[in-house]
Structure 1
Amino acid sequence: MRSRWFRLAAARTRAPMLAAAALLAVCGSAQAVDLTITPGQRSTAQQVAQTGVPLSELAPNAPDSHTVQRGDTLWDISKLFLKSPWRWPELWGMNLEQIRNPHLIYPGQVLVLVKVDGRATLRLAQPDPAGTPPTNTVKLSPRIRSELLDNGAIASIPLHLIVPFLNEAIVMDADELADAPRIVAAQEGRVMLSRGETAYVRGDLKGARDFRLFRESRPLKDPGTEELLGYEAAFVGTAEYTRPGELRPAEGGKVVEVPASFRITGVRQEAGIGDRLAPVPQRDYSAYAPHAPTAPMAGQIVSIYGEALTAGQNQIVALNRGTRDGLERGHVLALWRNGPLTADRTDGRKVAIKLPDERIGLLFVFRVFDRVSYALILTAIDPVSRGDRFTQP
């Protein structure tokens, strides 16, 4: 049974602040995925556990309090209070000693902004039944609580935007699908297959029963160097094993192969003869805590996920950096449009110039491979294209 483990890092009990890293973990088994706190996050939390955030870092219209609403995310709430939402650890702090014993934030809870000596912190207050402004705060102690999918706790970011891509967007170091099991025929001679129809498959299934379907993979190349970064396979759908294949005796002492049978259980696009099968991995929707890279980071967009030439807010892009470059899940990146080359003709001469690069949005990294990552476009004021670059925010 699928389950969600909502994790929220509680404030150190000696510090006057709430820690609210509403971290979501979903996995296919009953075990939760461990949350790794980065050295940068830990260092930040240590620095601000006693001091809070400078008032200059607050958003211009930061409210004195906020009642958590259904549909809120940690990102939404951070935007209310901070100029830079990814800097949430500086406002909320983290429980460094009991990081795996988190609290949860639920709709109806009231967050109070406290300003003292030029610094700001957040506290969790209990709403007054009569509707008067909250005046009391609650001192939190570490505890752990896990709930099912519908427990109502808020998530870090709008997870519904990335969940469909977590096991669909894959990058392989080599063209591994070339030798994967493949659809060789369809029921009643069909060429294309929809949900509920039967496909016949040849290849080594290695004991798996649930599979993803992919079309022929395509190489991903670095926009700047043309280095081969990996192979991206286009997701087609899902299929379920229903009947094993076998070898049957035929006339003349020969043996004929009978392919395994599969039922198409879901489609993003119609499945077809030649589509490849890959086992469904253990689902990993773990711990998406927005944070900035702790070291300088720069790279380019390799491609727009899907067939589009440009992308906008809430779409997915592939980046030419991965784990080997220090990129990690949860990183927030600034998105830049390269300034175009043009000419200055104002003084009667033609002088070549390059206009400044312009920051056009933010990216949120949610899937990381060795040399490639996938990111959600959080904001974009202009269309995003292959070759646009990113840096630390």
Structure 2
Amino acid sequence: MKKLPTPARRTNLSASLAVLAVVAAGGVGTTAAWAQNYPITAQQRATAQQTAQAGVPLSELAPNAPDEYTVKPGDTLWAISRLYLLRPWRWPELWGMNINEIANPHRIYPGQVLYLDKSGGRARLTTRRGAGGEGGTIKLTPRTRFDSLSGMALPTLNPSLIEPFLSEPIVVDENTLQAAPRIVAGNDSRVLLSRGDRAYARGEKDSPLVEVPGPLQNYRVFRNATPLKDPGTGEILGYEAQYLGKVRLQRGESTTVETKDDKDYITVVPATVDVIAAREEIRAGDRLLPEPPRQLLSYAPRAPSTQVEGRIVSVYGNAVQFAAQNQVVAINKGTRDGIDSGHVLAILKNGETILDRTGEKKETIKLPNERIGLLMVFRPFEKVSYALVLEINDTPRAGDFIVNP
């Protein structure tokens, strides 16, 4: 516990709370949240300055937005935003932005009470009851409060929905897996390997699988780099490697030299690895890629600042055609298109092409595209990104369109 003094100050009522940014940890089981620097464009800064004074129009509020809400454990920033706003990605405007502290945003914690201020025809969310009024001020007396540093700040989304995908699916180029170390055999002639089994692996000729100083190295196991093809242009955007599990390197590759008839014979001794996690059974030929360090990623849900018109490439999972809520999809837009973590996009159902038999003659027509949900990008690559389906009123599938919300 850390003791946090709050000095007396006079606060103009038009000033609003700092934007809330929450960090989701990149490793499974990590729940601590950390504030990080987040790049602010000139347009975002101008919007921040405006909304810090103005709030959002009352027409943007959800019909049943509560005047008072107590934050509960298990809440997420997105859920609270949906409670208050018709367009929840506009939550920074509801809270306002404190430009001086945007690099280290304030957070919302369970137990805090949020009050909706609708004075002046604009909506703001504060943690002070009765903060409204025309031109008034509030004087805060000196006090001391205690705040936990144990990572209790609300996450933007339920971490369990996206944590596995921060390390599991991976988009690679055509040659990455072919050049990666491979499993060559299981212990005791095992063909299919699962957690607790021992296996043997080796690298390619010029890059053997060897130990390095420090803790034991972990590798992720992949198979079948499936091409991700743009539904519109046919361009191969990358290859999605199928995640199988994780192994730990116990001993690196080595060689033995045996002399016979005045000749030296070199024998390769493969590396020894132990399977420490398995989503599916692992077998000879599967490839190993080093486990990346845990990442702390900042998710600030927001609409892209540029026009986006793209498509859903695939639904993550074996032989899955349709996406449900809280499922992960790949889209054909990435960092080269300006896509970043936190971008919220609308999903448009691709209208069917049908034969109109109701007129004097048969005619082929295309039904209009209909908006059926929202998704949020959480892991962008160069040409493709993974996104979480936030909400739907129909069933998205590969080929559906994505546009600005």
Distance 2:111 2:148 in 1: 19
- Work out whether 1:293 is the aligned partner of 2:307: no
Q: Which has the larger radius of gyration?
A: 2
**TM-score of the superposed pair, with normalisation by structure 1:** 0.87
8 A contact 1:45–1:93 mirrored in 2: yes
Contact preservation (8 Å) 1:222, 1:302: yes
Report Cα offsets for 1:366-385 as digits up to 9, x if no partner: 00011010001111222221
Matched, 1:19 2:24: no
Deviations 1:217-246 (A, max 9, x none): 121111111111111100011111111221
Give the equivalent residue in structure 1 for 2:317. Answer: 306
**Structure 1 residues 329-366: Cα deviation after superposition (integer angstroms, max 9, x where no partner):** 10000001111112333344323222111111111100
Equivalents in 2 of 1:240, 1:21: separation in Å?
Answer: 38
Cα distance 1:139–1:108, how it changes in 2: closer, same or farther (>3 A)?
farther
Alpha-carbon offset, residue 153 of structure 1: 1.8
Alignment-derived partner of residue 399 in structure 2: 387
- The residue that corresponds to 2:6 in the other structure is none
Query: Structure 2 length normalisation: TM-score?
Result: 0.85
Structure 1 Cα separation of the partners of residues 122 and 35 of structure 2:
36
| CA positional deviation for 1:60 | 1.1
Q: Does 1:231 align with 2:233?
A: no
User: What RMSD over aligned residues (CA atoms) do the two structures have, in Å?
Assistant: 2.6
* Larger deviation, residues 72-81 vs 345-354: 345-354
Residue of structure 2 equivalent to 1:7: none
Q: 1:73 to 1:17 in 2, by over 3 A?
A: same
Partner of 2:127: 124
Aligned partners of 1:61, 1:347: CA distance in 2, in Å? 46
For the residues of structure 1 that align with 2:401 and 2:373, how far apart are their CA atoms? Answer: 11
| Count of aligned pairs | 368
1:368 is aligned to 2:376: no
Q: SS where residue 46 of structure 1 aligns?
A: helix
Retained in 2: the 8 A contact 1:171–1:232?
yes
Counterpart AA for 1:54? P
Amino acid at match of 1:165: F
Retained in 2: the 8 A contact 1:20–1:74? Answer: no
CA distance in 1, matches of 2:43, 2:272: 50
3-state DSSP of counterpart to 1:195 = coil
Aligned-residue offset at 1:295: 1.2
Shift of 1:25: 4.6
Which has the higher mean CA deviation after the structures are superposed, 172-181 or 191-200? 172-181
TM-superposed deviation, 1:18: 2.2
Aligned 8 A contact 2:36 2:104 in 1: no
Give the alignment partner of residue 64 of structure 1, picking from 64, 67, 74: 67
Structure 1 residue 271 displacement after superposition: 1.0
* Within-5 A mapping of 1:210-225: 210-225=218-233
Q: Is the 8 A contact 2:374 2:389 kept in 1?
A: yes
Q: Give the aligned residue type for 1:19.
A: A
Cα distance in 1, alignment partners of residues 87 and 250 from structure 2? 51
Secondary structure of 2:248's match?
strand
Tell me the equivalent position of 2:94.
91
Distance 1:173 1:49, change over 3 A: same
Kindly provide the CA deviation profile for residues 308-342 of structure 1, in whole angstroms up to 9, marking residues without a partner as x: 12111111111111001011110000001111112
Give the counterpart letter for 2:288 in structure 1: L
Structure-2 change in CA distance of 1:385 and 1:181 (3 Å): same
Counterpart Cα distance in 2 of 1:78 and 1:322 = 26
Q: Structure 1 residues 22, 181: closer, same or farther in 2, change over 3 A?
A: same
Paired residue for 1:147, among 146, 149, 155?
Answer: 149
Query: Is the Cα–Cα contact under 8 Å of residues 330 and 365 in structure 1 kept in the other structure?
Result: yes
Superposition deviation, residue 101 in structure 1? 2.7
Instruction: Give the distance between the partners of 1:200 and 1:147, measured in 2 at CA.
Output: 43
What residue number does 2:3 align with?
Answer: none
Unpaired runs of at least 5, structure 1: 1-12, 128-135
Residue 44 of structure 1 contacts residue 89 of structure 1 at CA under 8 Å; is this kept in 2?
no
- 2:209 maps to a residue whose letter is L
Task: Give, as a single letter, the amino acid of the residue that structure 2 aligns with 1:175.
Answer: N
For residues 237-261 of structure 1, the C-alpha deviation after alignment (integer angstroms, 9 at most, x for no partner) is 1111111221112352201111111
Cα-to-partner distance string for 1:265-318 (whole Å, 9 max, x where unaligned):
111111111111111112224111110011110101111111112111111111
Would the aligned equivalents of 2:115 and 2:129 in 1 still touch at CA under 8 Å? no
Fraction of identical pairs, as percent = 51
Using the TM superposition, name which of 157-166 and 33-42 deviates more.
Answer: 33-42
1:79 to 2:87 alignment: no
Counting only pairs closer than 5 Å after superposition, residues 1-393 of structure 1 correspond to structure 2 as 15-26=14-25, 34-125=37-128, 147-148=149-150, 151-203=151-203, 204-205=208-209, 207=212, 209-250=217-258, 252=260, 253-307=264-318, 308-393=320-405
Distance 2:75 2:99 in 1: 25
Structure 2 CA distance for aligned equivalents of residues 227 and 298 of structure 1: 16
Question: Secondary structure at the residue paired with 2:154?
Answer: coil
Structure 2 distance, partners of 1:370, 1:237, is 25
